[in-house]
Chain A
Amino acid sequence: MHRYIGRRLLGLPLVILMVSILVFTLTRIGGTPIGPYLEPGMTDEEIAALEERFNLDEPLPMQYVAWLGGVVRGELGWSAVAAAPVVDVFRQRIPASFELGAFAALWAVTLGIGLGTFAARRRNRMGDQIAGVVAVGGASMPAFWLGIILLIVFWSYLGWFPHGRSDSVIWNSLPHPTNFYTIDAILAGNLNALRDALWHLVLPALTLGYAAVGIVTRMMRSSLLDEMGKDYVDAARARGLPENLVVRRHARRNAFIPTITVIGLSIGIMFEGTVVVETIFGWPGLGNWMADSVLSGDQGTTLAFVIFTSILFVSLNLAVDVLYGYLDRRVVLRRT
């Protein structure tokens, strides 16, 4: 097991390196990323000096090495959109995205597991069909549309839920040691702020989580069906265990194992989804910033974000595999 983890960990930097080369090369197809730094009326000499300052006059492999050196030193460049160093903006904006993602994951995983179990136990009956519709809907639903429909109904028409991340008066009324609005509110003991935080989270978390609901439901259903057909489940039934307990204590525990894989996958998908969802809801997180940077041609930020996302994807894959190995000992035996 440890050897397997070790081998995977050693492979991790290699994959990340390859991803970064790929992304770096592809984002340079369109020419040098000098655009955001140019000001009207700059002379050719000034532009050349600027390019030299950012190593943009060198061949592409050298630029990559220079960029990688910066990354190793913790310098990711300058974000023109936020007018601050990329690293600082990341640090400042991560809590908002993370908070949104956590709530989205919470409802997606809870509902997905519940719905998947429900569907498997009513195989080919009405309940199963409905769960199937919910699941395939999640895979087909454009997040940008779902978000807008929710805003039309619950914000514009009914006025039940707000837009954005916070009510600025309430937000300013309490200190923000962590920048997680919910946690800050709890730390300050401010119930009003907590309510405000949760209220603002409802619609964007619903939108962001829906794609994952579909994925988790499908996997939970199919792996529970797999387990229900096995001998040990029959054995448990033969011992006279009520069906409810057969599912809860035996079948479902094993069915969780494959489901964990897709939960890892869904977290990656949700992280990407923030680009769309945060834009719609005016959420001051990473995704919103990424969308602005992309549209303003800020390649440094784009590059940093893509590579950050890739690292997250690769790490999630690894974490899921390792977890899988711990939970299902058979996997380890086969692989080492």
Chain B
Amino acid sequence: MWFHAVHVERAPVLAGEGPLRVKARRLWGTTKDVFSRGSTAFGAIVIVLLLAMAIFAPLIVPENPRGAFQMPRDLSSVAVPPGTPGHLLGTTRLGGDVLYGIVWGSRLSLQLSIYVVSGAVLIGLVVGSTAGIVGGKVDAILMRVVDVFLSIPTLVFPLAIAAVLGPSFANIVVALAVIMWARYARIIRSQILQVREEDYVDAARAIGDSKFGIIRRDILPNSFTPVAVQATLDMGHAVLLGATLAFIGLAVAGQAEWGTLVSEGQADIIAGRWWTSTFPGLMVFLWALSFNLVGDGLRDVLDPRTEGR
């Protein structure tokens, strides 16, 4: 398979080298390939910075005692411009520190994207492997359902679901996972159909491996690459869509959420107060951009069939 072809070429097994070292060296070779492109490396650096911000949030801006994701209200300095002492990026009309919103918003975005993507992968894994393994009528019906989910609008549909469920963080997660799982189901099913025909799976079957063992040892590892690429891209999409839903008004008001902050700042622009919207929106852009860049980079190296697309 191409996966090995790439690595054999770059990292031949040297005499007297243990399997673990070969694996490590191949992984290093792939990593170097992925990040040798400037845009991918840039994306990776931005991701590392964003994750660091999310993880070390309490060290950058102290947590609001009334709730970490609740915007603090400093009523003594309302709508002050960036550069004001104590409010590096200014404050909102309600006295919320924009820097606080950005820093704690990154933690909220990280949670959102991890929940949404893992939920979507899990559903996709169950549906996709059921369809691929059981086959027949079950496969036909499940794939029909997948088709329907792939053809529904990706913004309006979660908007409707989130609206019905009521404004909350959890409901945005649910609404986004519901539209994102179908692609994973399709990837995993097609991997199963493809891998099933490979000689080494026949070999595993011949030596008496159980069906479950084959799935776990042969099929799932082979599905990993396309799922990882899609998941990286979806980490960005989830935050972009989630912030859009929040901007429209489906998040809890007053939260340190980027889309919500942009929405709050919307009313301020006529008064010339540009900062409330500008900085949090920039964060959404950076988040989506960095995951898109890395996802594209991964796909180009790991999946040469679509190179350059």
Binding site for B on A (CB under 8 A): 15, 18-19, 22-23, 26-30, 132-133, 136-137, 139-145, 148-149, 151-152, 155-157, 218-219, 221-222, 225, 268-269, 271-273, 275-276, 279-280, 290-291, 294-295, 297, 299, 302-303, 305-306, 309-310, 313-314, 317
Q: How far is A89 from B152 in the complex, measured between Cα atoms in Å?
A: 23
- Pick from B147, B157, B277 the residue with the most CB of A within 10 Å: B157
Mask for B175-206, Cβ within 8 A of A = 1, else 0? 00010000000000000000000000000000
- CB B158 to nearest CB in A, in angstroms, measures 10
Question: What residues of chain B lie closer than 8 Å to A27, measured between beta carbons?
Answer: 160-161, 164
Q: Is A152 touching B277 in the complex (CB atoms < 8 A)?
A: yes
Question: What residues of chain A lie closer than 8 Å to B163, measured between beta carbons?
Answer: 294-295, 297, 302
Q: Is A137 touching B281 in the complex (CB atoms < 8 A)?
A: no
Question: What residues of chain B lie closer than 8 Å to A15, measured between beta carbons?
Answer: 147-148, 151
B124 at the interface (CB under 8 A from A): no
Knowing that A132-B39, A140-B288, A313-B153 touch, tell me 12 more A-B residue pairs with CB under 8 angstroms: A19-B148, A23-B157, A29-B161, A136-B292, A142-B243, A142-B247, A149-B277, A156-B270, A272-B153, A272-B155, A294-B159, A310-B153
Binding site for A on B (CB under 8 A): 39, 144-145, 147-148, 151-157, 159-161, 163-166, 178, 236, 240, 243-244, 247-250, 259, 262-263, 265-266, 269-270, 272, 274, 277-278, 281-282, 284-285, 288-289, 292-293, 296, 308-309
Question: What residues of chain B lie closer than 8 Å to A276, measured between beta carbons?
Answer: 155, 244, 247-248
Question: What residues of chain A lie closer than 8 Å to B263, measured between beta carbons?
Answer: 144
Q: How far is A268 from B152 in the complex, measured between Cα atoms in Å?
A: 10
- CB A86 to nearest CB in B, in angstroms, measures 14
- CB A158 to nearest CB in B, in angstroms, measures 12
Q: Is A144 touching B262 in the complex (CB atoms < 8 A)?
A: yes
16 pairs, CB–CB < 8 Å, chain A vs chain B: A18-B144, A26-B178, A28-B164, A29-B161, A139-B288, A140-B288, A145-B285, A156-B269, A275-B156, A276-B247, A276-B248, A290-B159, A294-B159, A294-B248, A302-B163, A317-B151
Known: A152-B278, A157-B272. A144 touches B244 (CB 8 A): yes
Known: A276-B247, A280-B266. A19 touches B277 (CB 8 A): no
Q: Is B156 touching A309 in the complex (CB atoms < 8 A)?
A: yes
Question: What residues of chain B lie closer than 8 Å to A155, measured between beta carbons?
Answer: 269
Known: A29-B165, A156-B270, A317-B151. A142 touches B248 (CB 8 A): no
Which of A29, A142, A222, A314 touches B244 (beta carbons < 8 Å)? A142
Chain A residue at smallest Cβ distance from B161: A26
- CB B249 to nearest CB in A, in angstroms, measures 5
Question: What residues of chain A lie closer than 8 Å to B247, measured between beta carbons?
Answer: 142, 144, 276
Which of A140, A295, A297, A306 touches B156 (beta carbons < 8 Å)? A306
Question: What residues of chain B lie closer than 8 Å to A305, measured between beta carbons?
Answer: 156, 160
Which of B159, B160, B266, B285 touches A142 (beta carbons < 8 Å)? B285
Chain B residue at smallest Cβ distance from A120: B308
Which of A140, A157, A218, A225 touches B285 (beta carbons < 8 Å)? A140
